[in-house]
Amino acid sequence: MPLPATVTVTTADTRYGILIDAGLLASASTWAGLPKAAQAVIVTNTTVDALHGDALRRALAPLYPSVSTVALPDGEVYKTWQTLNLIFDHLLGHGCDRKTVLFALGGGVVGDMAGFAAASYMRGVPFVQVPTTLLAQVDSSVGGKTAINHPLGKNMIGAFYQPCRVVCDLDTLGTLPARETSAGLAEIIKYGPIADAAFFDWIEEHVDALRAHDRAALAYAVQRSCEIKAEVVGQDEREAGLRAILNFGHTFGHAIEAGLGYGEWLHGEAVGCGMVMAAELSALLGLVPPAFVERLARLCERAGLPVKGPRLGIGRYLELMRVDKKAEGGEIRFVLIDAPGHALLRSAPDALVAQAIECHLAA
């Protein structure tokens, strides 16, 4: 893939670029044209701050009179009101005004919380996504979903709020642990079944290269994923309809995350297993042949993802899935596949949902 690449997100009232390249943090052109302000605040976590915080501080120092950092505790378990409040404490404690620019440096947890803080601090300040995990570069930094978790459900409190730029520096992925790479691959795999059969084929051919952090393969996967997500978000920013396809595997996956306790399984791991269950449900409804389920499960396994779900109890799965944001009047609506590259939203009888789960539970 030729680098650098820029993918543009266009919604009804915003337009921003997703920059994809190596060396972006250190390049002055990356930061040109961002909103001017007296202060910039880097929202990150303690792990990422130690690895990449200095590079971003160096980049922003010539641009803003004051650059400060708030380093949150690391982990999905900290995607809470209490942690969000640490950001507000920092912003108010530093006298940040409504022009202050927030920079979310980290994975999806940091991005979702920094975005929610940006959406609500003084009713909205600009923010820039600087994703440092594969998952965040291919998915969470794009499209403006921001949120925190509630013990009863994932991402239950949040806002749609778009960043003014997304900076995907492929170099930052060099420090990413293998388990996190696999988690990112789950969201990359997702785009194949829901939107692009040829990309599905490509991922199957390149999954080993992606796990080995082959630069060209990673660059293409980030670019194609962002293109698909930008296209969907551009048509349906607030999930009135089409955007729900980006939730493939998430109804089951979010139940796994909340049911086990946040952080026990990574989000991408839960989504991988959830996609297999959703594919199984599609097969049980006669939408795809059983071979499709096997194909997807095999790819997830090759990506290093678990494909057998935890034994939470079927009743517990159903209870957790009923709080899914796509549910209407207590009826769960699932993202299902009816052909590789095409998804649809529909409900299903509890008995079939239970069967789909049971087919893919750990021994």
Ligand X SMILES: NC(=O)c1ccc[n+]([C@@H]2O[C@H](COP(=O)([O-])OP(=O)(O)OC[C@H]3O[C@@H](n4cnc5c(N)ncnc54)[C@H](O)[C@@H]3O)[C@@H](O)[C@H]2O)c1
Ligand Y SMILES: O=C(O)C(=O)C[C@@H](O)[C@H](O)[C@H](O)COP(=O)(O)O
Q: Which amino acid is at 252?
A: F
Q: Is 112 annotated as a binding residue?
A: yes
Would you say 37 or 228 has its CB closer to ligand X? 228
CB of 154 to ligand Y, least distance (A): 6
Residue 227 contact partner, candidates ligand X, ligand Y, none, CB within 5 to 8 A by sort of partner: none
Is the distance from CB of 324 to CB of 318 less than 8 angstroms?
no
Buried b (16+ CB within 10 A) or exposed e, 32-47: eebeebebbbbbbbeb
Q: Is 78 annotated as a binding residue?
A: yes
Is the distance from CB of 20 to CB of 226 less than 8 angstroms?
yes
Both tokens of 273, joined, read 């297993």
Site for ligand Y in 222-241 (CB under 6 A): 239
Is 250 a binder of ligand Y (CB under 6 A)?
yes
What is the Cα–Cα distance from 63 to 28, expressed in whole angstroms?
A: 10
Query: Chain centroid to CA 119: how far?
Result: 18
Active-site amino acid positions: 123, 145, 187, 229, 239, 243, 247, 250, 254, 267
Which secondary-structure segment (H or E) carries 157? strand 153-160
Is 185 a binder of ligand X (CB under 6 A)?
no
Buried b (16+ CB within 10 A) or exposed e, 106-128: bbbbbbbbbbbbbbbbeeebbbb
Is the distance from CB of 317 to CB of 259 less than 8 angstroms?
yes
Is 239 a binder of ligand X (CB under 6 A)?
no
Is 143 a binder of ligand X (CB under 6 A)?
yes
What is the Cα–Cα distance from 191 to 199, expressed in whole angstroms?
A: 8
Is 274 a binder of ligand X (CB under 6 A)?
no
Would you say 115 or 310 has its CB closer to ligand X? 115
- φ/ψ of 236, rounded to 5, equals -155, 75
Q: Which stretch binds ligand X (CB under 6 A): 174-182, 309-317, 342-350, 354-362?
A: 174-182
Q: Could you say which of 180, 187, 269, 280 contacts ligand Y (CB under 6 A)?
A: 187
Crossing angle of helices 197-211/215-235, nearest 10°? 140
Residue 49 contact partner, candidates ligand X, ligand Y, none, CB within 5 to 8 A by sort of partner: none
Cα–Cα nearest to 99, from 130, 69, 65: 65
Q: Is 206 annotated as a binding residue?
A: no
Is 47 a binder of ligand X (CB under 6 A)?
yes
What is the Cα–Cα distance from 280 to 342, expressed in whole angstroms?
A: 15
List beta partners, residue 16.
9
Is 139 a binder of ligand X (CB under 6 A)?
yes
Is 109 a binder of ligand X (CB under 6 A)?
yes
Residues 311-340 as x/- pattern, contact with ligand Y by CB under 6 A: --------------x---------------
Q: Binding site residues for NAD(+), as ranges?
A: 74-79, 108-112, 132-133, 145, 154, 172-175
Binding interface with ligand Y (CB under 6 A): 139, 143, 145, 154-155, 187, 239, 243, 246-247, 250, 325
Q: Binding site residues, as ranges?
A: 74-79, 108-112, 132-133, 145, 154, 172-175, 187, 250, 267
Binding interface with ligand X (CB under 6 A): 45, 47-48, 51, 74, 76, 79, 106-110, 112, 132-133, 135-136, 139-140, 143, 145, 154-155, 172, 175-176, 180, 183, 187, 266-268
